[in-house]
Amino acid sequence: MAQRVGIVTLHYNFKNFGALLQAYALQRALKERAASVEIVDHRYPGKLKAIGPAEQESHAEGLRFLDSLDSSPAFISEDTRETEAYMDSAYDLLVYGSDEIWKWRFSWTGRQRRGSMRTPVPNIYWPPASMETPRVAYAACSGASRSRIPRRIRRELATSLRGFQDISVRDRPTHDLVHAMTGGSPRRVPDPVFLQDHSDECDFGAIRRKLEEAGADFRRTVVGLYQRRGVFGGFPADASVVNLRKARLSPLEFWGAAKVVDVMATNTLHGTIVSLVHNTPCVHAGRALPKVRELRQRFEIPGGTVSEVMDTWPSHAVAERVQEERRLGLDWLDQTMTSRRP
């Protein structure tokens, strides 16, 4: 079994509880299979600027959670050479993923579009061929990218991907991207948040009290609202709607909140995932991203109003599928780690 494992992922957006939870869940799953596991703490200054300061209590909770992760020394730079040297010396295996680590945004002229964080190529997520430490990818994702990759950059990205000993992906677009560049057919595995049950780390009574402070009335049907942007209506008149983004929740409390509420209304991937993990009926609020729609199709999540979804929610089928997803992910990790024993 590989003794020292480094995780390379987009872990440091303290405002994005999904990114924090998937980094934590993957680290925890790997700790059961390796002697030491830490997250490679490379942060791009441009990304830090885009994230911005903590503006509310939940952001402070996210920062505290981020600081609690077992991480490498911090490398804050656009230049990744020092980080790569550390990675080659500190680890026996590098695990890349999950999140949108392979997101790409290019203009038709071949320049990366404004707002892209992956410049230049190669970078920490598309490592150079000179990296010596064996590397695999768990549930990698390219996001909802739609632009054309210029030929010269496409060659560099293909070279980087071919340096991976094994690649698993989270969704169909990333499968197609990897297949187009390498000719391989990467296996689909679930998002890391499916891998772990954090119930032993949650105080559900405290979560309930925080939701009450944020306006939840548990004498009525409680709807947990968690969305990226936009306005969502259509709630029953007698429902109590609580905005989970405005509650003073930590990332783990957000995970547990999906068990406390009666129904979730969300257009986010991880809002949907925590609903499924707890088998809580889930209504999709507003326009959902392709990765969310794909997850809905995989689990055959019914559409309709809050009342309709609560009445038609396929509890038994969801519970079985969650267990299937967990087994799929853990089996991949077991096989990958076993095949790389020294």
Mean pLDDT on 95-103 = 89
d(CA 145, CA 9): 18
Residue 207 reports pLDDT greater than 50: yes
Strand 166-169 vs strand 135-140: parallel, antiparallel, or unpaired?
A: parallel
The token pair that represents 7 in the structure block: 């995780």
| pLDDT cut 90: percent of the chain above it | 67
What's the pLDDT at 99?
85
Instruction: Give CA–CA dist 154/175, Å, rounded.
Output: 16
Which pTM was predicted? 0.92
Q: Per-residue pLDDT averaged across 165-184, rounded?
A: 92
Residue 182: exposure state from Cβ atoms within 10 A (0-12, 13-18, ≥19): middle
- Placement of tokens 């020394």 in the chain: 73
Q: Report which secondary-structure segment, H or E, holds 94.
A: strand 93-96
- Out of 5-9, 46-50, 244-248, give the one with best mean pLDDT: 5-9
The pLDDT, as a whole number, for residue 115 is 39
pLDDT above 50 for 159:
yes
> Residue 193: pLDDT above 90?
yes
Instruction: Give per-residue pLDDT as tens, 105-140.
Output: 665 454 554 434 445 677 899 998 888 999 999 999
The CATH class of 4-195 is alpha beta
User: From CA 197, how far away is CA 214, in angstroms rounded?
Assistant: 25
